[in-house]
Structure 1
C-alpha cells in the first residue's frame, strides 16, 4: 500500500502466510509464483481438511431448503448438460417463480447418474464466500467457486479445458482425474475448448500428463487450457472448483487501446471525414496508425484497470439492520473497520470503491488513509462525522473489539 495521501489503497495480500500457502499448496508462495502459476499443473496430497468450507450436508441444504434458482445449478451427464426445465419448477403459493430448483427432479437425475453442479457458491455459501474473498485478495485476480457432486462411477463432462485457472479441492469421496497438456495454451475468455474440439479429442487419446485419484484433502491446480476429465470412483464424489479469472496482457492491451481511442476522440483532426472515393482509406491508414501509436504511448490505463478490477468482484456482505444499528448507536468509542473486498483506492481526495466513489475535504484525507489499513479504529480516531458518513455509504462496517 502506498503511504502517500494522494495514492493509497486497501491492503492486498495478508501479512504472513495466507490461504494459498496454508490451505492449497505445500510449497512456498514465491516458488508457486515462479515455477507453477500459469505454467504447469500441481498436485498436492493431504494439504488439509476442507470440510469447514463445504460438505454433503451443505449440498442438501442448498438444494432442498434455500430456494435456489437457475443459473445457480447445472445438471450434466456424459458430456451433455440438461435443459433447465428438466429440474426446475414453481414452488407453490407465495413462491410461484418458475425457475426454482425442483429437489425431486434433481434427486431422480442424480440417482440416474447425473452430476449436480452448484454454481457461484461464492455468492450462496458463506464459508466459501469468505474463502474466495481472501484468495482473490491474495492473488490479485477474481475467484469464483462451483461444487461438483457426482454419483459413483459417473462423470458429468468429457475432456475439455477451462478459460480460467482452477484449484480443485476434493471434499468427499474419490475422483479419478486424467489431465493432458494444452492444445491451445493460455486461452482467452472468448476461446473456449469447443473451438478446438477435434484437437482436444485427439490429445485426450494420448498419454496423460497426470492420471490420479483425488482423495479428501487433496488439492489440484490447473492453469487455463489444460485438458481434463474426471470420474467418480466407488462412492459419491464432491469437489470444489475455485476458478481464477486471470488478468492477461491481452486484457491490458484492450484497456490501452480503449484509453488511446478516448484520447483520439478529443483531436479535431481525427474526427474529420475521410475524402470522397471508392478506393478505401488509401494513404490515410499510415497517418492514422502514426497518431494511434502516439496515443497509445501517451495513454494512462491506471483508472481503467482499477475500474475493471472493481467491476469483476463484489464487496463483503452487508447486513442492513446491523448497519442501521451502527449508524444510530454511533459513539466516540464505537469500533469500525473498512468493509472487506471493497477494492478501495484513494487518488487525491477521491475514494473509489466497489460501492461508488466519495470526495473528501483535505482535512479528512489523513483519516481516510488510516482506515485503508483494514485495521479496527474507533469513531473518535477517525472523526465521528466522517465515520457516520462512511457507515451510511457502506464503506465502513461495525467491528468487534
Structure 2
C-alpha cells in the first residue's frame, strides 16, 4: 500500500489537504464555517481508500500480527462480548494470555458478530500516516477504528459518540440512520448512556439522514449526533476517524488548574477557616475575589501544550536506522525534525513529546531553523548539536 498522502484524486488541486482532497471536497474555510461541529455531512464518492485499508488488511491484522486486546472489540446485538471469548495464549515463546484467536473470531463473525479493530493508527502504517496528517491539518488528535460487520447484521444500537467522526465505507454497503442530538456537544464524561431514554425516543422519529453508504462514501458526524448502522446483503467494512476535539471546557479546566496552583502560594488562601468553619459571606467573598484575580492572571498555555503532547505519539523512529545515522554523521548528512513531535521552543528550552532539552544561546538560532520541518544538513546545524538531537530522538535522518 502506498502512503495516502501520495494519492491524488483527479480534478482536485494537488495542494489540497486530506480534508478537501479525500474526505469532503470542501475547502477548509468552507468546512470550518458551514460544517465543523455544526451538522452532519454526506459526501458521495469522496475518494478511493484502497491505499489506506481493505479486506486484506483486516485478515492480516486478525490472523498474522499477534494483536492483543484492547486492539479489538467484538459486539453482537448491541452488546460487547467478553474478551475471553476470542482470545487465547500466544503459544511457545510468547507468555501472553490474551492474543487474538483467529478461529474463535471466525466462529463469532460467522454467527453475526461485528469485529472492531481499534487504534489502527498504531497497528496499520497507512492509517497511522493518514491520522497523523489529518490531525496536523485539523489541530485536533485523530484515531482510527475499523468495523467489520457480517451481512444483515448490526453491531451497536442507536447512540452518540463524545468525539467527532468521519465514517469511510471501504467494502460492501451499510445503511445509516442519523438523528440530530439530544445532548449537543457532549463532553468526554457525558456518554450517551446518561441520556438513554431520550436517545431511544429520538431514534424513533424521522431521520436527519437515512442513506446507504457505498465504497468511497464519507459521512461526517459531530459529537452528539445519534447514529446506527446495519450491513446490507454482504460483508461491510468501514472506518471511523475519531476526532478527539479540544473544547473550551477543557481550556477552562486548565485555566482553573493554573489559577489554583497560583493560590497555593497565597498565605491568605492557605489560612485556616474560623472556628466552626461557617461559610460566611466575608470568607466566601474573599476567596471568590482571590480566585477571580488568579484566573485573570493565570496562563493555561503550559498545561494546554502539555496535554497536547500527551494526546499523541511522534512519528516512528527505527532504532537501527537511528544508530546508523549517529555513527555515520558528517557535515553533509541530511537531518530533519521528527514529525508529530509537538516541538515548542520556550526561551532556551525545547519541549517535545520525547522530553525536553535546554540549549546554550549559541545553539538557539539553529534550533529555531529546525522547527520549520525542512531537511537540513548536520553541518548547517553544527555536528555536536545534530548529534545531540539525533541521540535524543528529536531529529531523524533526512531520508527516513
TM-score (norm 1): 0.95
**SS of structure 1 residue aligned to 2:75:** strand
Alignment of 1:114-153 (within 5 A): 114-153=113-152
Give the C-alpha shift of residue 382 in structure 1.
1.1
Secondary structure of 2:33 counterpart: helix
How big is the shift at 1:269? 1.0
Aligned to 1:5: none
Displacement of 1:94 after TM fit?
1.1
Post-superposition shift, 1:55? Answer: 0.7
- The whole-number CA distance in structure 2 between the counterparts of 1:139 and 1:24 is 13
Query: How many Å apart are 1:76 and its aligned residue?
Result: 0.3
Aligned to 1:61, the other structure's residue is in SS state helix
Match of 2:333 in 1: 334
Looking at structure 2, the residues matched to 80 and 312 of structure 1 have their Cα atoms a distance apart, in angstroms, of 28
**Residue 140 of structure 2 is aligned to residue 178 of structure 1:** no
Q: Is the 8 A contact 1:161 1:228 kept in 2?
A: yes
Please say if residues 274 and 281 of structure 1, whose CA atoms lie closer than 8 Å, have aligned partners that are also in contact.
no
C-alpha contact 2:167 2:219 (8 A) present in aligned 1? yes
The residue that corresponds to 1:9 in the other structure is none
Q: Residue 266 and residue 56 in structure 1: after superposition, are their counterparts in 2 closer, same or farther (change >3 A)?
A: same
Deviations 1:238-267 (Å, cap 9, x if unpaired)?
011000000000000000000000110011
* Counterpart for residue 205 of structure 2: 206
Q: Unaligned 5+ residue runs, structure 2?
A: 1-13
In the alignment, what sits opposite 1:30? 29
What root-mean-square deviation, in Å, do the aligned CA atoms of Structure 1 and Structure 2 show?
1.1
Instruction: Work out whether 1:315 is the aligned partner of 2:314.
Output: yes
Cα deviation for residue 279 of structure 1 reads 3.4
Aligned to 1:154: 153
CA distance in 2, matches of 1:65, 1:274: 63
Output the CA distance in 2 between the equivalents of 1:209 and 1:154: 22
Matches within 5 A, 1:73-88: 73-88=72-87
Q: Distance in 1 between matches of 2:344 and 2:189?
A: 30
Partner secondary structure for residue 154 of structure 1: coil
Matched, 1:229 2:228: yes
* Kept in 2: contact 1:45–1:219 (CA 8 A): yes
User: Structure 1 residues 278 and 365 mapped into 2: Cα distance closer, same or farther (>3 Å)?
Assistant: closer
1:190 is matched with 189
How far has the Cα of 1:92 moved from its partner? 1.4
Structure-2 separation of matches of 1:126 and 1:35 = 32
1:71 equivalent in structure 2:
70
* Counterpart in the other structure of 1:48: 47
TM-score (normalizing by structure 2) = 0.95
Residue number in structure 1 paired with 2:289: 290
